[in-house]
Copies of this chain bind each other. A is one copy, B any other.
Amino acid sequence: MKTLQDYIDRLDQLNFKEMYNNDFFLTWEKSDDELEAVFTVADALRYMRTNNISTKVFESGLGISLFRDNSTRTRFSFASACNLLGLEVQDLDEGRSQVAHGETVRETANMISFMADVIGIRDDMYIGKGNAYMHQVSDAVQTGNKDGVLEQRPTLVNLQCDIDHPTQAMADALHLIHEFGGIRNLKGKKVAMTWAYSPSYGKPLSVPQGIIGLMTRFGMDVVLAHPEGYEVMPGVEDVARKNAKRSGGSFTRTNSMAEAFKDADIVYPKSWAPFAAMERRTDLYGEGDAEGIKALEKELLAQNAEHKDWCCTEELMKTTKDGKALYLHCLPADINDVSCKEGEVEASVFDRYRTPLYKEASYKPYIIAAMIFLSKFEDPQKILKKLAEREAKRIFE
């Protein structure tokens, strides 16, 4: 069992000074040390919560959530992270159209940020838009802070964009670190990030992209598998290739689910929409072409239906390493005969991994909190130490 000092000692060995007063957009914009700092602080915060040590570092302050989609899980993860640190969440619930782009972003970003220490944004629907929008917001509040409008610079946390889903991928990775006994132990492990059939349409690409963009950092053998036509963003594949080269792992692509599962240590079967189709959809939305959107939806559902055999079955699971690959999913999954007739995974497989899946999800609030923490404190080791010395209990005793 680790102690708080172990986490502090680890942080002492890492260089993450660029994270101070900064944002978190994409995992591949962060150094290996910076990612490990996030994992370490996340574990330290969880350690403290488990031991009833209050991690409240803000006496007041707001965490603004700005979601373009409805999102119960992400909303609760963000709210949990803010609460853990002492920030009160305020949701900006404007419709998609109301939070327009350009001038209005700049103004709205400032108007909601007078007491904001962090802004969490989910904007994953439109290719080429979500990440760009987050940068606009971040630029606006940085300027606002410099100009004396805002007393503080709100940190931006990407809660899912069109390119990456860093809080999900980082939570997934922290789960692997715990399951495999350390970040070094991930080296050489085979991960199958594979497409799977779903009766629904247009699931975001940010999960597979986030996974191949992150897991290639740890020296793992990452296989991306999908039917022809379900390609992800080429730029993210480039990132994965470069990462793999540098980390001593590998990144390969296949159109066979069986090949990906073969001897895999970890499998991540999950539906997504083809990148090219999402680009078309973004254009159609831009043109307000409701007919075109309907037609595209029909086309995509038909295309999906040709690949119902892409399912995480017991049979496939048997072909993985010792038949016991760790099954990952960002949840909720499309489970055969449970949430749909035919979906991403057989019910018996899902059931067997239920507890690890829930644990996987449980890291997300701590990952988000760690991202905020590392942005807000120049010397997080000192703060962790002082929090322990403060002896404030989370629950009074």
| A111/B396 in contact, CB under 8 A | no
| A76/B394 in contact, CB under 8 A | no
Q: Among residues 55 to 94 in chain A, which have CB atoms less than 8 Å away from a CB atom of chain B?
A: 55-62, 72-73, 75-77, 79-80, 83-86, 88-90, 92, 94
**Complex Cα–Cα for A362 and B113 (A):** 9
**Complex Cα–Cα for A349 and B378 (A):** 40
| B56/A331 in contact, CB under 8 A | no
Chain B residues in 8 Å Cβ range of A386 = 396
- Size band of the A side of the interface? 35 or more
Within 8 Å by CB of A72, from B54, B55, B111, lies: B111
Chain B CB within 10 Å — which of A104, A387, A394 has the most?
A394
Chain B residues in 8 Å Cβ range of A90 = 75-76, 79, 89
The number of times this chain is found in the oligomer is 3
**Complex Cα–Cα for A147 and B90 (A):** 32
Chain B residues in 8 Å Cβ range of A332 = 104, 107
Binding site for B on A (CB under 8 A): 46, 49-50, 54-62, 72-73, 75-77, 79-80, 83-86, 88-90, 92, 94, 102-104, 107-108, 110-112, 114-115, 117, 144, 147-151, 331-332, 335, 338-339, 355, 358-359, 361-362, 364-365, 376, 383, 386-387, 392-397
7 residue pairs, one from A and one from B, having the closest CB atoms: A80-B115, A57-B396, A54-B59, A149-B358, A147-B355, A76-B112, A73-B111
